[in-house]
Structures are given as structure tokens and as C-alpha cells.
Structure 1
């Protein structure tokens, strides 16, 4: 295992990102108590001591690893007419590129002692901006159902790894999961096209 040394700011930023990426993978796949700094360090190619130097504690690393502001922005960066497909494609990219799922991290954070803080942050960065863009009836319910479907996709694909879902190609996954999401996003347009 190589140990990274932060000799310049760019390298330090890369090292920090590698640590957070490895932490997200481990915290998504295991309970907080089961995840060790040494496991994260090994995945990130650094020493556990360097993780402590950058983050101070496992709790601080967890707090940064479960944050989702940047990912929430990327998830919502699409017009409403194509948002269902965009949400699924962006989530698949996060799964495959970073072994990470911001929805699963939010669920896991809810069980931590300061889970209400993360719940509020999740609402601020994802659910409230999403709800503000929706039109039509039952916006709070539709927003919750969109989140539930995205949590479910992450759970069966990343955490439980159900063969029926993990065996799907990315295109088939999008074709399967995007239409029900889109129907929640723009139900009034869907019903008008059927009349």
C-alpha cells in the first residue's frame, strides 16, 4: 500500500478526494461501527494516520463522506421533461464511477446521533429544490415518491445487489426506472398525452 504525501495543494486535494471516495464506498456498504479507517486508507492508497491528519476523526470523515450538495446539484441539472432519465443516468454514473449513492448515504446518516442535521441538509439541497420545480397536484407526496424510488434503486443495485437489477445494462436500467420517475415529475403532461 502506497502512502500519499501532500507536497502541493493540488496533490492534497486529490488525496482528500480519494479518501472521501473510499469512505463513501465503505460507509454505503457497511454500518458506521463496522467501517475502519484502515480499510478506507487501504482503498484510498494512504495511511490511516493521514486520514486523521486531514479529517481529525472517523466521525468528521463520515460527515464529509455523506454530504451530497455537489451530487444533488448534478442530479437536478436537467429540464423537467427529461429529469427522470437524467436522475437514473446520473445515479448509475455515481454507482459505477464512485461506488457511491447519495440517497443511501442520506438514509444511513438518519440513523446517526446527528441524523436530523443530515436530513435537513438533504431536504435543503435535493428535496426542496426538486419540489420547487414540480407543478400540479400532490407535490410533497410526489417528491417523497421520487426519493423513495431513487433510494430503492440504490438499495437493490449497490447495497443488496439483487441480480434482477445488477444484471441490467445501463440502457435497460434507464428504460425500466426512468418512466415511472418521469410520470411522478410531470404527471399532468403524461395524462394529457393519453387523452
Structure 2
């Protein structure tokens, strides 16, 4: 009985480890150039475990997208119209202390060359945009929300891949004012400029 519990615990830990390694690889290298062998090697496990836990590379990518979307959605659900810019600033600037925040955004950017994978990404982007429109009190403003999301993803790309300065090293506090201007201008929501929550 104890051995069975230990195996279950190890299985859960291995699955989570594969998910974290894959998320980092997919975010940094893209879907097409990442192999299941690379992921298994980074995780220090047998490549067959990817099939066991996720069925396929596509299943693993979908699981990575699901976790990224769940995190972004959780941020959105805890956000009021006044907090949208602060939440975006925290997610973008969180790269150094929490790489997962940035990886979730980068995962949505990388093209895959696989139409089914790209459709999954489009679905997540649509859902996030719809949620952002709801948060700001205007469910019809999805197009404007998509522009805000596109700008956020562009900032993530310029910070992580291109290292454009001063954007690449801007702090959460430094990003807050321009992001507030962006959200106010596009979503029509006057906001209080506030210090990011710690």
C-alpha cells in the first residue's frame, strides 16, 4: 500500500516535471523544433513516459497551453477594471523572479507549423481576450481587448527574445504607467495609477 502511494506520488511529480520542462522548451524554442526526446532528457526520464502521461507531443503541448491559460485566467478572474494594467505589468515583469509568468505569454506567441496546435493557441488567445473584455465591463469590446493582448505579447517578445532596451529591463513599476495609458486608451477605462501589489 505504501509502495503504491509512493509510485503515485512519483508519477505526479514526474508528470509535473515533464510539464515544466516542456513549457520552457516550447516557449523558448517553439513547438516544431522541440522534440519529445529533448524534453525527456531535460527532465531526466524515459521518453516513453511522455506517451504514458500525455499521449503525444501534441497532448503535452495542449497540457502546457491549458496550464498557461489557467494561470492567465486566474489573474483575470481576480482582476477589477482598475487592476488590468497592474496585472499585465506584473505578468510581463515577472520574468526574472518567476520565469513561468513570461513563459505563459511566450507559449502563446510561437508558431508551430501545425494547424491543430495553432488552432489551440488561437482558442486560448480568443478566450483570454473575451475575459479581458468582460473584466473591463464591456463584453462587446473583444477587438480592443485583442489589441491590448497583442501589445502585451509584443512587449514579452521584445523583452525576452530581442532584449530591446530599456524595455527588456524595465521594472514592474516602470511598466505600469505606459500600460495604464494603453489600457485606458483602448478599453476606455479610466484607472487609478497604483503601485504594483507585492
TM-score bin (small chain) = 0.7 to 0.9
Q: For residue 73 of structure 1, what is the aligned residue in structure 2?
A: 73
CA distance in 2, matches of 1:9, 1:83: 39
Q: For residue 123 of structure 2, what is the aligned residue in structure 1?
A: 120
CA distance in 2, matches of 1:23, 1:106: 14
Q: Deviation at 1:119?
A: 1.6
| Cα 1:106/1:169, change in 2 over 3 Å | closer
Q: Deviation at 1:122?
A: 3.1
Greater mean deviation of Cα atoms: 69-78 or 100-109: 100-109
Greater mean deviation of Cα atoms: 46-55 or 141-150: 46-55
**After TM superposition, which residue ranges in structure 1, 4 or more long, deviate above 4 angstroms?**
none
Question: Aligned ranges for residues 1-195 of structure 1 at < 5 Å?
Answer: 7-67=6-66, 68-76=68-76, 77-93=78-94, 96-99=97-100, 100-108=102-110, 111-114=113-116, 115-124=118-127, 126-135=128-137, 139-172=141-174, 174-175=175-176, 177-184=178-185, 187-189=188-190
Measured against aligned partners, the alpha-carbon deviations of 1:22-44 in whole angstroms (never above 9, x if no partner) come to 11111111132211223222332
Higher normalized helix content (fraction of residues): 1
Q: Deviation at 1:81?
A: 0.6
Q: Deviation at 1:141?
A: 3.4
Q: Deviation at 1:95?
A: 6.6
After TM superposition, the score normalised by the length of structure 1 is: 0.76
Q: Deviation at 1:176?
A: 5.3
C-alpha contact 1:88 1:177 (8 A) present in aligned 2: no
Which runs of 5 or more residues in structure 1 are unaligned?
Answer: 1-5, 191-195
Aligned residues: 183
Q: For residue 3 of structure 1, what is the aligned residue in structure 2?
A: none
Q: For residue 193 of structure 1, what is the aligned residue in structure 2?
A: none
